[in-house]
Amino acid sequence: MLKLAVLSLLNGISVAALYFIVASGFTVTFGLMRTINLAYGSLFLIGGYVGYQVGDLTRNWYLAMIAGSAIAGLSGAVLQWGVLDRLRGQDMRQALVTIGLSIVAADVLLAVFGGLTYQFTPPDWMQATVSLGVFGGYPAFRLLLIALSLFIGVFIWAGLTCTRVGLAIRAGVDDREMLSAIGVNPSRLFVIVATCGSALAGLAGVIGGTALSISPGEDSRYLLASLVVTIVGGMGSIAGAAVGALLVGLLEQVGLLYFPNYSIVAVYLVMVGVLALRPQGLVRGTA
């Protein structure tokens, strides 16, 4: 029984790692920039599908990963520049337009890629199984996924706290006009941020399609996961996204083992609890 518990714990952490990668992009664009992009799940799916096509053609998983991130980043940039920046500060319009776009994107993707479930084939060395002694083996790719999410987390945190771009983002969130008055073009800055955030969604699409799979409907699943993680963890906080992702991932996977009927409910109960007791989220503040 212990073995099963340990494996489901690892499953929980690796799902949490995936949620963290998706939600870290979301928490920066939604939590920090206060841009409401409910088409964020579509960017995940676009990254996954395009990455799959590229991987299928070139037989190269790395290229698939790059292509998936790039196309999602590009789509996110166009969305920010063409739509969201023009609706700045109009939450309801941003929400409605991006919901509309996500419905269109879901149908277009269904028409192009069909209703099949795709799974990526990673390079051979990632398909190995790592031995965990008495607990048996565990797929190397999932352990890599956990490592990658840690790397991304540290990278974003350091970027926001130490670099001038990070300072400009935080300043722009505080007071866009004054940021502009000291010579930074806020629209351009926010397009750059949206590009990076969306590229993370695309990256997660490819990685999620490798660790699990991608199929129609995954867009809303990951959008919801990102929303829950961001709200539970605290808007705009990378540490909060990590805490939120761990909570959601573990509840989901460990819950599947011990209370399978209620594991999905548990996640939302946590969100309701956090909203009721600590509406600003578990971790406060930027970065």
Task: Return residues touching other proteins (CB under 8 A).
Answer: 164, 167-168, 170-171, 173-175, 177-186, 285-286
- Compare residues 144 and 168 and give the one whose CB is closer to other proteins: 168
Min dist CB 36 to other proteins, Å, is 20
Min dist CB 287 to other proteins, Å, is 9
- Compare residues 94 and 286 and give the one whose CB is closer to other proteins: 286
- Compare residues 59 and 164 and give the one whose CB is closer to other proteins: 164
CB 190 within 8 A of CB 35: yes
- Compare residues 273 and 285 and give the one whose CB is closer to other proteins: 285
Min dist CB 136 to other proteins, Å, is 47
9/253 Cα distance (integer angstroms)? 7
Give the torsion through C-alpha atoms of 95, 96, 102, 107, to 10 deg. Answer: 170
Min dist CB 194 to other proteins, Å, is 18
Collapsing DSSP states into helix, strand and coil, what is residue 139? strand
Burial group, residue 63, by CB count within 10 angstroms (0-12, 13-18, 19+): middle
Min dist CB 174 to other proteins, Å, is 4
Min dist CB 211 to other proteins, Å, is 35
- Compare residues 51 and 236 and give the one whose CB is closer to other proteins: 236
The helix (H) or strand (E) run that includes residue 77 is: helix 61-79
CB 203 within 8 A of CB 65: yes
- Compare residues 35 and 286 and give the one whose CB is closer to other proteins: 286
Nearest to 199 by CA among 58, 89, 283, 78: 78
Nearest to 206 by CA among 57, 31, 21: 21
